[in-house]
Amino acid sequence: MCVNELLWHALMQVLRSSEGRELRATHQENVRYLRGKLLEAGLPVIHTPSHIIPVHVCLAVINTDLLLVSLPRLMTASLVTN
């Protein structure tokens, strides 16, 4: 087996395990938390059922600065820790 196949099999084992279920649950909590914080901040969040949280952006520089200043720990839901 090549390295990619070994990594793929290891990844699948983790995802199918109780650890994988815990990781998914944590990720879903983080997405809900992030979406809530974005909505609280008054950002125009588009609701979707996925983990992707689209936000309407008019002036990207201004919106990026807003996120960096007011929500620094929320840039990616997968990195959020409560």
- Determine the structural domain holding residue 58 and report its residue range: 3-79
Query: Based on the structure, what is the number of domains in the chain?
Result: 1
At 5-14, the pLDDT tens digits run 888 888 889 8
Model-level pTM greater than 0.85?
no
Q: Which residues contact 76 (CB under 8 A, 6 or more apart)?
A: none
For residues 22-47, give the mean pLDDT: 90
Alpha-carbon span 77 to 48, nearest angstrom: 15
Distances (CA, A) of 59 to 11, 48, 63, 65, 79: 39, 22, 6, 10, 25
Alpha-carbon span 71 to 35, nearest angstrom: 12
Write out the two tokens for 30: 């983080």
pLDDT band, residue 64 (cuts 50/70/90): low
Query: What pLDDT score was predicted for residue 58?
Result: 65
Q: Which residues contact 68 (CB under 8 A, 6 or more apart)?
A: 75
